[in-house]
């Protein structure tokens, strides 16, 4: 059974380990795994007291999880695969060893959720709230400050609430610490939940305090203090106060709980036949390996694809293709695309850059929606708006676009950027919709996909920049559809 799990889930486990080693937010992952193993080891007497009794009802959960794994695998949703990796441990344990053994292992295994990147979805929200709340607190403390998106400007200089300043790392560290303390020392569900809520609040609030403190130091030192440039270490020193507060809250909850009620001794029963254990393990292995091998068949390799070529002139609107600066000041990067194009078009002295990446067959790490893909060089540009406006779609002759605002890190140059996905013959702005279209295309034999990104200068009137991109997108719509349809046509 373990070999079946290893075959099916080795790749997501490997990717998870790479994330822990490379990510700032999830560097605590190995510690969480060790803590989970320690919590299981502490329950060794409880495991010995229970008699394994296979329960085939667990096969329903295993089948559902592997169906979710199949969809995640074929769509390249690594997060889905990693989440299944945790839940599958419980469903297989339930099937092979029974519900009583699973009850002993449940919470230590679920504790692993704190090391799975399901929390990244709230990162932008935390980033936005950190900027807004910190600005208001700084004003309350007498600092003249102006907030523009994620940029906080004071008379002495400017701060930006970057992704690493969102507070996600502090939140996860606080939850991991609180969860471990709760499973180690608390015995009621309400006390554990209260402690987790306290830890979540401490993680968020102390990050706000950290940002406000740095702004105050920058204001009073005229941006000359070393902490203005290097404040990560200061944040962790401040976080130690949150750790002490967590421990104090845990001790208070222990007193409020009182002594735990004695648990009834497990009722002994006949030991299950070895044949029943092996049968349950064999069936579970089949449910795991079947979708694993099926997913590998769906994700077949692709043949070489010809380069993408847009016309030198777009008849609608009179846009003409011109040479790009060398090196290009803006260039998206979509990994392992089968064909890419970066071009500049000009009309009446105004220019628009267009980038297209085409995938003949979407596969793992070669897909239009992937965390590795970037719409701009983050060493050169910063996202200007405090959120990505997915719901604000520009209707450009059937070519929907999601809008982004960028600003150069060095200087005041700004860009307006529009992005659209083309999957299974349809354009969409929503990444989740693109993923479902990807699954439909794979199952129906239309696995190709593309992304189109437009960019133009936005230093002047914002409405004028939008009108320019809208006019260009109207002119590009027909030729782009023709190019993508031609690339998809069998050779």
Q: Which neighbouring-strand residues pair with 343?
A: 354
CA distance 390 to 399: 14
- Residue 392 has a pLDDT of 47
The total of other beta-carbon atoms located within 10 Å of residue 91's CB is 23
CA distance 402 to 418: 5
The total of other beta-carbon atoms located within 10 Å of residue 295's CB is 21
What pLDDT digit, counting tens, does each position of 140-193 carry?
888 888 887 777 888 888 887 777 777 788 888 889 999 999 999 988 889 999
Q: Whole-model pTM?
A: 0.70
- Residue 337 has a pLDDT of 87
Of 281, 298, 295, nearest to 3 by C-alpha is: 281
CB 67, CB 80: distance < 8 Å = no
Cis check: omega of the bond before 327, within 30 degrees of 0: yes
Q: How far is CA 164 from CA 160, 232, 272, 409, in A?
A: 11, 9, 52, 16
- Residue 197 has a pLDDT of 93
- Residue 389 has a pLDDT of 44
- Residue 387 has a pLDDT of 43
Q: Which neighbouring-strand residues pair with 394?
A: 401
CA distance 362 to 343: 24
CA distance 445 to 130: 45
Lookup: tokens for 127? 């980033």
Q: What residues contact residue 60 under an 8 Å CB cut-off, 6+ apart?
A: none
Local mean pLDDT, 10-residue blocks, the chain (491 residues)? 56 76 81 92 86 83 83 73 83 85 89 86 82 88 82 82 78 90 89 92 88 85 76 73 86 82 60 70 74 63 66 81 88 88 90 91 80 84 57 57 83 86 88 84 80 88 85 87 77 52
CA distance 77 to 186: 35
- Give 152's DSSP letter: E
- Residue 298 has a pLDDT of 58
- Residue 352 has a pLDDT of 92
Q: What is the CA radius of gyration of the chain?
A: 27
- Residue 116 has a pLDDT of 86
Among left, alpha and beta (phi > 0; psi -120 to 50; other), residue 389 is: beta
Q: Which neighbouring-strand residues pair with 322?
A: 344
């Amino acid at each position: 059974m373990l070999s079946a799990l290893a075959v099916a889930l080795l790749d997501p486990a490997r990717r998870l380990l790479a994330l822990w080693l490379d990510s700032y937010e999830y560097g605590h992952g190995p510690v969480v795994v060790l803590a989970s193993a320690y919590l299981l080891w502490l329950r060794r007497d409880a495991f010995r007291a229970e008699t394994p009794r296979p329960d085939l009802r667990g096969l329903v959960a295993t089948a559902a999880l592997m169906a979710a794994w199949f969809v995640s695998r074929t769509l390249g949703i690594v997060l889905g695969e990693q989440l299944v990796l945790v839940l599958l441990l419980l469903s297989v344990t339930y099937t092979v060893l029974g519900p009583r053994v699973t009850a002993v292992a449940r919470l230590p295994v679920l504790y692993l959720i704190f090391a799975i990147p399901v929390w990244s979805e709230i990162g932008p929200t935390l980033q936005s709230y950190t900027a807004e709340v910190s600005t208001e607190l700084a004003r309350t403390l007498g600092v003249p400050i102006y907030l523009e998106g994620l940029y906080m400007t004071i008379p002495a200089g400017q701060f930006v609430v970057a992704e690493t300043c969102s507070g996600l790392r502090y939140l996860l560290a606080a939850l991991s610490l609180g969860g471990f303390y709760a499973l180690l020392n608390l015995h009621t569900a309400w006390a554990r939940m209260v402690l987790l809520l306290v830890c979540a609040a401490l993680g968020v609030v102390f990050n706000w305090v950290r940002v406000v403190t740095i702004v105050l130091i920058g204001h009073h030192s005229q941006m000359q203090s070393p902490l203005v440039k290097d404040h990560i270490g200061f944040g962790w020193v401040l976080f130690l106060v949150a750790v002490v507060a967590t421990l104090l809250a845990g001790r208070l909850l222990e007193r409020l709980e009182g002594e735990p009620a004695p648990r009834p001794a497990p009722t002994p029963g006949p030991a299950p036949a070895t044949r029943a254990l092996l049968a349950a393990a064999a069936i579970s292995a089949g449910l795991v390996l079947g979708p694993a091998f099926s997913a590998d068949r769906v994700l077949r390799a692709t043949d070489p694809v010809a380069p993408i070529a847009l016309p030198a002139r777009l008849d609608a609107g009179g846009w003409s293709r011109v040479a790009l600066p060398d090196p290009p000041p803006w260039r998206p990067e979509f990994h392992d695309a089968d064909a890419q194009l970066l071009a500049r078009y000009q009309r009446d002295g105004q220019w628009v850059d267009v980038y297209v990446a085409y995938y003949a067959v979407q596969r793992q790490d070669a897909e239009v929606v992937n965390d590795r893909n970037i719409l701009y060089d983050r060493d050169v540009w910063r996202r200007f708006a405090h959120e990505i406006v997915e719901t604000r779609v520009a209707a450009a002759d059937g070519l929907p676009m999601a809008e982004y605002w960028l600003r150069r890190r060095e200087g005041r140059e700004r860009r307006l950027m529009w992005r659209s996905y083309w999957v299974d013959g349809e354009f969409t702005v929503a990444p989740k919709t693109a993923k479902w279209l990807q699954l439909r295309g794979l199952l129906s034999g239309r696995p190709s996909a593309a992304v189109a990104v437009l960019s133009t200068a936005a230093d002047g009137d914002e409405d004028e920049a939008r009108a320019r991109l809208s006019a260009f997108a109207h002119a590009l719509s027909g030729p782009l559809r023709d190019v993508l349809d031609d690339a998809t046509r069998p050779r």
